[in-house]
Amino acid sequence: MTRIDPTARIGKNVVLGEGVEIGPFTVIEDDVIIGDNTKIEGHVKIGRYTQIGRDCVIHWGAVLGHTSVDLKAQPGVCRTIIGDRNIIREYVSISASSFDGQATRIGNDNLLMHWTNIAHDCVIGDRVIMANFATLGGHVVIEGNARIGAHAAFHQHVRVGEGVMAGACSKFVQDVPPYTVADGHPARVRGLNLIGRGTARNHPMAEVPEESIRRLKQAFRLLFRSNLNTRQAIEQIRRELLPDRYVAHLIEFIESSKRGICR
């Protein structure tokens, strides 16, 4: 059964799934879709053309799908698409895309802690945790299982690889390779994200096989601890460490980088 507080304001063409709850003074604009059993607390604003999946929890004061602040933004169907089972804490801000027919996208099973800011046209994967006040510029991509520390800030168009641990209060102006820890101002790669892998609950690297960990360690040494340049290191990795899907993803990510990678 859907429950809507009498003080909430619901726009036109809004689709609410079964079991949706909407709290006091929440505003949902036109053309919004909300999936089954999603719970929305009070004083939330959900902008036009936003789509939210099922079993999400959206806490007090969040603003989702608001108009892009990009000065190049154009009017049109600018979407925000949020997947299933996301926890969005107090005062999180997620911007819609800047251009007609495009979308800011959030995957499934993510935790966005309070005051997280996700700008226009970002893409967030699955099982990402962003701590308090983490901030993404426009067009940032964060792959699955990443951990973003509090107050970390990301320049526009930066990519963050799968399984990354991004240190708190760090400044990211280049891409962060998968499976690494990066920290600093500006951020530098410090090592592989392995601390606590055997004991920490839901560690992003917990499912990586031991043989792949061994190969990733070798790849890391070639990339970051040898006298080889990046091209030479990748050539040697290809000869010695493939096939391995984790190593393959690491070198594909580096080769496709447009901003360069954190060193």
Q: Which of 35, 61, 65, 138 is catalytic?
A: 138
In a domain, 110, yes or no: yes
pLDDT score, position 201: 72
> Is there a domain that residue 156 lies in?
yes
What gap in Å lies between CA 24 and CA 35, rounded to an integer?
19
pTM, two decimals, is: 0.94
pLDDT in tens, 155-178: 999 999 999 999 999 999 999 999
Of the candidates 43, 59, 66, 120, the residue annotated as catalytic is: 120
| Domain membership flag for residue 186 | yes
What is the rounded CA–CA span in Å between residue 89 and residue 56? 11
Indicate whether 204 belongs to any domain. Answer: no
Task: Give residues with Cβ within 8 angstroms of 234, minimum separation 6.
Answer: 223, 251, 254, 255
Has 120 been annotated as catalytic? Answer: yes
Q: Is residue 250 part of a domain?
A: no
Instruction: Read off the CATH number of the domain in which 179 is found.
Output: 2.160.10.10
Tell me, yes or no, whether 239 lies in a domain: no
Range of the domain at 53: 3-194
Domain count, the chain: 1
Phi, psi dihedral angles at 88 (to 5 degrees): -120, 110
pLDDT in tens, 197-237: 876 778 888 889 999 999 999 999 999 999 999 999 999 99
Phi-psi region at 179: left, alpha or beta (left = phi > 0; alpha = psi -120 to 50): left
The answer to the question of residue 253 being in a domain is no
Q: Would 234 be classed as within a structural domain? A: no
Band of pLDDT at residue 242, cut at 50, 70 and 90: confident
CA-to-CA dists, residue 89 to 110, 183, 217, angstroms: 11, 25, 36
Task: Give strand pairing partners of 103.
Answer: 79
The rounded percent of the chain whose pLDDT value lies above 70 is 99
- Residue 138 designated active-site: yes
Residue with tokens 């979308």: 103
State the chain's mean pLDDT as an integer.
96
| Tens digits of residue pLDDT in 88-134 | 999 999 999 999 999 999 999 999 999 999 999 999 999 999 999 99
Q: What is the pLDDT of residue 263?
A: 86
Of 121, 144, 161, 167, catalytic: 121
